Amino acid sequence: MILSILLTFVLLFVLQQTVIALYNLYLHPLARAGFKGPRLYIAFPILRYIAQCRGIFDQQMVQFHQKYGPVVRYQHDELSFTTAQAWKDIYSHPPGRAWPKQEIRPPGAVPNIVLSDEADHARFRHALAPAFSDRSLTQQESLIKSYVNLLINGLSEEAEAGRDVDMTMWYNLATFDISTFSAS
């Protein structure tokens, strides 16, 4: 009796996963829109996570883009783009139209660029904008590269010594160095 119930649950699970995979491959809105990508990744999202754990996901994405072009559907609801225009289309907004803001600042918190009203946010953006201009970033490129190289060299030394690495600490240190010394 228990074996038949267990077998029923297993069969129902397999049926459910098959229906989900078929939906993701053929009926999902991104599939109907014609976005191409690796069918196994689209049908079984676990494969992406396995590739990420193995550290080969980025290399596979390069291969996918070589095979499928500048737009790759690599999961049922995710797309990857390789063009500069896509970056502008996704992350910019038309002039004169601001992103909607929600004030969620805790009581007594100091205003900052993330948790602020429209007026404060505009003031912060105006103050920070020169640091993120193309000219400014081009001038700071060699400095940023030097800190990234320090990060890579430090991580390489730790790896060669066989030591465990606290990546959060290393990234925090690198981010601190880049943001502190590029601002001066």
Q: What is the pLDDT of residues 98-153, one digit of tens each?
A: 666 655 667 777 777 777 777 888 888 899 888 888 888 888 889 889 999 999 99
How large is the average pLDDT for residues 13-25? 93
Residue 183 has pLDDT above 60, yes or no: no
In this structure, are residues 81 and 90 in contact, taking their beta carbons and an 8 Å threshold? yes
- What would the mean pLDDT of 14-29 be, rounded to a whole number? 93
Mean pLDDT of the chain: 87
User: Which residues pair with residue 71 across a beta bridge?
Assistant: 81
Q: Quick one: pLDDT at residue 180?
A: 80
- At residue 78, the 3 state secondary structure works out as strand
- Which pair of tokens denotes residue 76? 């049922």
User: Does 85 have pLDDT greater than 70?
Assistant: yes
State residue 112's pLDDT score.
79
- Judged on CB neighbours under 10 Å (0-12, 13-18, 19+), 81 is middle
Q: Is the pLDDT of residue 61 over 80?
A: yes
Structure tokens at 179: 């943001």
Positive or negative, the CA dihedral 137, 143, 147, 152 is positive
Question: What was the pLDDT predicted at 131?
Answer: 82
Domain ranges of the chain: 1-92, 133-184
Relative orientation angle of helices 57-68 and 46-54, to the nearest 10 degrees: 120
Q: Provide the pLDDT for residue 21.
A: 93
pLDDT for residue 92 is more than 90: no
The answer to whether residue 46 scores a pLDDT higher than 80 is yes
- Per-residue pLDDT at 42 exceeds 70: yes
Question: How distant is the alpha carbon of residue 94 from its chain centre?
Answer: 23
State the sign of the Cα–Cα–Cα–Cα dihedral 95, 101, 105, 107: positive
- The pLDDT of residue 47 is 92
